[in-house]
Structure 1
């Protein structure tokens, strides 16, 4: 896969750049002016814009793997925790939470977590799996403890009891910060923000995804590291 299929003509470059809103157009033109001769500025700006879209696609692909892996890991871990002694509850933790989990899933103030699930394509009465699949990346991050949370914090308790025992590298601060960074870069990619302005964050996203994956599943982490979708896309920069 490449940023574009056919050679980019001056006419196409002008069409692409002129179709952008003024602030976005200036982002790419400014970078191009610093890296090209006057007659080639518009073409380079268009190439940067198309490459930005390409970066967004590989970030979406890579972080999408992490979202699915994280969702499945957290769902399985919380199902085991909710049904284990001394709670002995249902494995359907999202609809029938026990103990500390109830405070997060069915808060006294605010909506139940399951109400945030996207269920537009579900036919009939939603199942627990439908609710789980319908939650967003942000919903899952919300269940993880923040950096400075105390040991009495509900999320820290769940981390220690439900998640950490099943992770290869149970450093909760490092794990949470990497997951948060991946969520943020995924959102930026989804909204086609100018990633070309923050190549360092794009490059870091690959390592964050690999580290998270290896913490959950060593073999999948190694596979993702070797795929190198993001590093390969960075090598296709029109600035190189």
Structure 2
């Protein structure tokens, strides 16, 4: 059974309230880095994997994209997207990525924000994205950094007796696979993969890697969210940008 934590009432309320503050690592690290990797969006047909509440889909339309298809497994998120970010140029579909049934070679760009680490079969996903993209189309995604997902325990910061953070504890890095955590609720499942597996999964399945980014905070983030300075000690996110190899 595919995981759908965002349709859990407790988790959904926590997550949407947190994102509504506008003071998160998403706002000051991940989203600025993701948007910096985007090509010119004018006239492009875009697939947003894990569209959530539709903010990124709306951003694309505001930057002259031709059309955006937003996919999310959560009915709560899709309903919220239709309520908060409706647009005649956006189609929202409630579906797991793995069950996508769309015709191939139709998108110029596929983007996914912090959803890949919930997918069990990365290779199958990459192959499906490749099929959906036009030749020379691009796949851009962010994921939790493998040094964050590696350790099986969640207490990754080693601290002194006063609770000061000494260093980030890294373990189990080469042991890929399922990680089960408590994040607001019990039983949140993510999948750990090494950096090389993420990169080679693209290269081995019809993509040329164009860019890899381990972002730090914006200046605004350091001002409004001082603890984010810890990104200078270890990155929370990894972003990859790849282009479908022309088959002609």
* Bucket of the pairwise TM-score, normalised by the shorter protein: under 0.3
| Structure with max Cα Rg | 1
Say which structure is richer in helix.
1
Say which structure is richer in strand.
2
Superposition TM-score, scaled by structure 2 size: 0.27
